[in-house]
């Protein structure tokens, strides 16, 4: 049976436009544009609008989905066409009023609903995140004056565009990546297909008095289920052409469309899957994709990307068609337009190509390597980027995975790279005398914690994965040190941002407010954070340092537990915060004592500086230090056999409290009160530990009473909060 290939949905479009235009002509108004009217009526009908009058009837419930979800991804309209959409809906409402389907009150409510929905509609139509490949190319060809209704003209424009050097093609609007548009296009295609299938079901099960919405779907009675999906796909492509540009659907269709390379789908972008995995890593680490990662050191200039990629062993072999390259990698990332990108791609496209190669290798390692780290290749890339791109140690990373405890203070410490850099030699574990310093494990304890042969086996397994990643040019290994290359830093950042992980570059960071800088650098490696602080203040003068110190004060005052003041001041110290800015911060009630301590440590404190520090700030600093002693006591040594905690003799907290109390005006009792005022929760934890372990009964009793008073106060607050109304 013959199938209608160019469907015209039964929406009453021609009759609607004829009646509306006659009324508009009588008022001296221009006719309504047919293309957006077709889209509005069809999408209302696909959403299930009643068609008994011959046209889909808009309702307040349908306006949001059609205006805010459907039209912004399916229709490319000129400004005049977009402006006409509310008029089209108002004309529909008027048609229903004239046909007796709406009384005056309901008609007025519908017009009000249309008016209220319009601002969000305009925003959504302009939102770059709603861009699909058909909408993108429709906008470009129309900007070039091409008749979007002429399929031959559209095909000619696409051919010319594909022949245009990559560097001369218009770039996608920031911050979009190819993967964003590919994913959006795929999602829209799926959603439209589902809407068409639902409409077909309604035509069969609950036909409208106006007739079927999708006429002409004449399926072979012997194989209707097999033919229906393909028919609906053709209908969807035809509708897309009606609302963007004629012939786009067939020209861009994967995999056989003549210009499919211009509109890659998610499966055609290998680094799309890697971006998703790196997003998963970010969420595992921080639970928040918007928490900024540190920028990699020494990012390559855009004009260096080509040379770095061409110098990488695996990409060069792929470009040369070497038979030594695994076929799966060649087929995955170096087919179709890759050769053109290799030859004349823009820096952005070359970075994407490098990302595709890296992603293909990550997949290949997972599928073919027998290493215990084969499935961790994406994690290794994320972890290197998350530490600011600073080199790590193979044996230290292997020790963490092998269950050997590593000093937490060393986990993010950079590892020196041997002179000469990578040499291609097989991995050899560092000499045993270097391991204590690398791992932070005392030499006498090393033999009790791990067998050297076991540790070396873990390290060699990790080095195998690192070396396979190194073939991409994105990773290096030199002896025991490994890390991201400058190309790798740019590529991993590209993949992270494709997955919508916050991975700002220096230019973006330079535009941040001081509070944003402080919130970010607290979790970055110290040297990386210090460099970022220095660059942010460059050209801004002492005022900028004062803004940073003010942001630290505000953050600490708002979240005592969440802000590591000691860590932030360590980063400020590395960044050489000026003494003038520190003196301006001496009066801060939460961090003034920290500022004075840094001045004193640098030998720059004046005699009168100490007098300017508020007692509240001294209490905050003292509480932070006591809480740090508490944590160190808990980690100091494992409990004795049968004991729940380390013995009291191992504790430094009691001595630290006594030392602080000896200099505090009013002694231990006054200090306890000051600590409570600084932060109740932290003070309770410290006092709990002192009550349990301080050798002086008087101090232990004071701590116990302080804790009880805090608990009573908290209980009273809870009772007040939930007291029933009388």
Angstrom distance (rounded) from CA 331 to CA 254: 16
Q: In the structure, what pLDDT confidence band is assigned to residue 111 with cuts at 50, 70 and 90? A: very high
pLDDT tens-digit map of 138-167: 999 999 999 999 999 999 999 999 998 888
Sheet holding 392-393, edge to edge: 392-393, 481-484, 475-478
Q: Please state, in angstroms and rounded to a whole number, the distance separating the CA atoms of residues 361 and 588.
A: 52
Which range, of 173-182, 220-229, 689-698, averages the lowest pLDDT?
220-229
Contact indicator for 9, 213 with CB cutoff of 8 Å: yes
List, in sequence order, every residue forming a beta bridge with 394; answer none if it has no partner: none
Distance CA 473, CA 294 (A): 21
Structure confidence at residue 4 (pLDDT) = 33
What tens digit of pLDDT does each residue of 456-482 get? 899 999 999 999 999 999 999 999 999
User: Would you state the pLDDT for residue 402?
Assistant: 67
Q: Which residue has the tokens 């209220």?
A: 116
Q: Cα–Cα distance between 53 and 253 in angstroms, integer?
A: 37
Question: Cα(314)–Cα(488) distance, rounded to whole angstroms?
Answer: 14
Check the CA dihedral 449-452-454-456 and report its sign: positive
Taking CB atoms within 8 Å and a gap of at least 24, the contacts of 363-369 are: 363/270, 363/273, 363/328, 363/332, 364/326, 364/328, 364/329, 364/468, 365/465, 365/468, 365/469, 367/328, 368/326, 369/464, 369/465, 369/468
Length of the chain, please? 726
Amino acid 721: pLDDT: 40
Instruction: Report the run of H or E that residue 116 belongs to, with start and end.
Output: helix 104-126
Distance CA 580, CA 604 (A): 10
Q: Which of 23, 29, 123 is nearest to 82 (CA)?
A: 123
Q: What gap in Å lies between CA 591 and CA 596, rounded to an integer?
A: 9
Q: Rounded distance, CA 399 to CA 397, Å?
A: 5
Beta bridge partners of 481: 393, 478
pLDDT tens digit string along 307-356?
A: 999 999 999 999 999 888 888 888 888 877 788 889 888 898 899 999 99
Q: Where is pLDDT greater, at 273 or 5?
A: 273
Model confidence over 260-319: pLDDT tens digits? 989 988 888 889 999 999 999 999 999 999 999 999 888 899 999 999 999 999 999 999
| pLDDT tens profile 652-676 | 999 999 999 999 999 999 999 999 9
CA distance linking residue 153 with residue 699, whole number of Å: 89
Distance CA 489, CA 439 (A): 26
**243-253 mean pLDDT:** 94
Measure the CA angle with vertex 513, ends 512 and 515; round to 5°: 120
- Coil, strand or helix at 178: helix
Instruction: Tell how strand 481-484 and strand 392-393 pair up.
Output: antiparallel
pTM, rounded to two decimals = 0.81
Q: How far is CA 507 from CA 133, 219, 299, 510, 511, in A?
A: 29, 58, 12, 5, 7
Confidence (pLDDT) at 223: 62
């Amino acid at each position: 049976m013959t199938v209608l290939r160019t469907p015209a949905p039964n929406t009453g479009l021609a009759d609607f436009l004829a009646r509306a235009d006659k009324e508009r002509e009588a008022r001296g108004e221009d006719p309504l544009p047919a293309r957006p009217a077709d889209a509005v009526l069809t999408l209302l009908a696909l959403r299930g609008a009643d068609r008994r009058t011959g046209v889909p009837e808009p309702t307040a419930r349908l306006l949001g989905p059609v205006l805010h979800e459907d039209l912004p991804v399916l229709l490319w309209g000129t400004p005049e066409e977009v402006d006409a959409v509310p008029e089209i809906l108002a004309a529909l409402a008027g048609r229903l009023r004239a046909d007796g389907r709406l009384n005056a009150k309901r008609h007025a409510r519908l017009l009000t609903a249309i008016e209220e929905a319009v601002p969000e509609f305009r925003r959504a139509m302009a939102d770059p995140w709603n861009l699909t490949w058909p909408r993108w190319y429709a906008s470009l060809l129309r900007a070039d004056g091409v008749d979007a209704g002429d399929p031959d003209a559209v095909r000619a424009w696409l051919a010319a565009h594909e022949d245009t050097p990559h560097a001369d093609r218009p770039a996608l609007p920031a911050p979009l990546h190819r993967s964003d548009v590919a994913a959006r296009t795929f999602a829209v295609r799926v959603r439209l297909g589902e809407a068409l299938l639902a409409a077909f079901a309604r035509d069969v099960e609950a036909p409208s008095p106006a007739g079927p919405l999708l006429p002409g779907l004449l399926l072979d009675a012997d194989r209707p289920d097999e033919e229906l999906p393909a028919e609906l796909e053709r209908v969807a492509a035809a509708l897309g052409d009606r609302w963007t540009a004629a012939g786009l659907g067939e020209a861009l269709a994967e995999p056989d469309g003549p210009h499919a390379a211009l509109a890659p789908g998610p499966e055609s972008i290998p680094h799309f899957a890697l971006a998703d995995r790196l997003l998963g890593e970010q969420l595992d680490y921080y639970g928040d994709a918007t928490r900024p990662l540190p920028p990699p050191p020494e990012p390559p200039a855009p004009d260096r990307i080509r040379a770095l990629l061409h110098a990488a062993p695996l990409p060069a072999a792929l470009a040369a068609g070497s038979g030594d390259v695994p076929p799966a990698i060649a087929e995955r990332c170096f087919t179709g337009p890759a050769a053109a990108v290799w030859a004349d791609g823009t820096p952005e496209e070359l970075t994407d190509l490098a990302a595709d190669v890296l992603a293909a290798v990550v997949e290949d390692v997972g599928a073919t390597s027998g290493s215990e780290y084969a499935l961790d290749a994406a994690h290794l890339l994320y972890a290197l980027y998350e530490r600011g791109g600073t080199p790590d140690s193979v044996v230290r990373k292997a020790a963490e995975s092998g269950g050997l405890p590593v000093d937490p203070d060393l986990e993010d410490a950079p590892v020196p790279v041997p002179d000469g850099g990578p040499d291609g030699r097989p991995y050899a574990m560092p000499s045993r005398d270097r391991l204590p310093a690398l791992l932070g494990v005392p030499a006498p304890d090393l033999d009790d914690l791990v067998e050297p042969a076991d540790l070396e086996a873990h390290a060699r397994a990790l080095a195998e994965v690192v070396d396979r990643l190194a073939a991409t040019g994105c990773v290096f290994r030199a002896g025991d040190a490994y890390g991201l290359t400058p190309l790798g830093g740019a590529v991993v950042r590209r993949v992270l941002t494709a997955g919508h992980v916050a991975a700002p570059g220096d230019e973006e960071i330079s535009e941040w407010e001081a509070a944003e800088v402080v919130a970010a650098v607290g979790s970055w490696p110290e040297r990386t954070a210090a460099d970022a602080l220095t660059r942010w203040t460059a050209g801004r003068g002492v005022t900028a340092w004062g803004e940073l110190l003010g942001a630290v004060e505000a953050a600490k005052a708002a979240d005592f537990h969440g802000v590591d003041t000691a860590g932030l001041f360590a980063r400020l110290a590395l960044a050489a915060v000026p003494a003038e800015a520190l003196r301006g911060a001496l009066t801060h009630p939460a961090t003034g004592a920290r500022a004075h301590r840094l001045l004193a440590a640098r030998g720059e404190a004046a005699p009168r500086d100490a007098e300017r520090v508020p007692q509240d700030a001294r209490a905050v600093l003292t509480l932070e230090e006591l809480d740090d002693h508490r944590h160190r006591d808990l980690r100091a040594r494992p409990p004795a056999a049968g004991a729940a905690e380390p013995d009291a003799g191992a504790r430094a907290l009691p001595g630290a409290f006594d030392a602080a109390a000896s200099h505090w005006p009013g002694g231990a009792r006054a200090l306890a009160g000051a600590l409570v005022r600084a932060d109740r929760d932290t003070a309770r934890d410290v006092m709990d530990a002192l009550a349990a372990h301080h050798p002086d009964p008087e101090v232990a009793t004071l701590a116990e009473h302080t804790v009880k008073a805090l608990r009573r106060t908290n209980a009273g607050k809870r009772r007040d909060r939930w007291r029933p109304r009388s």
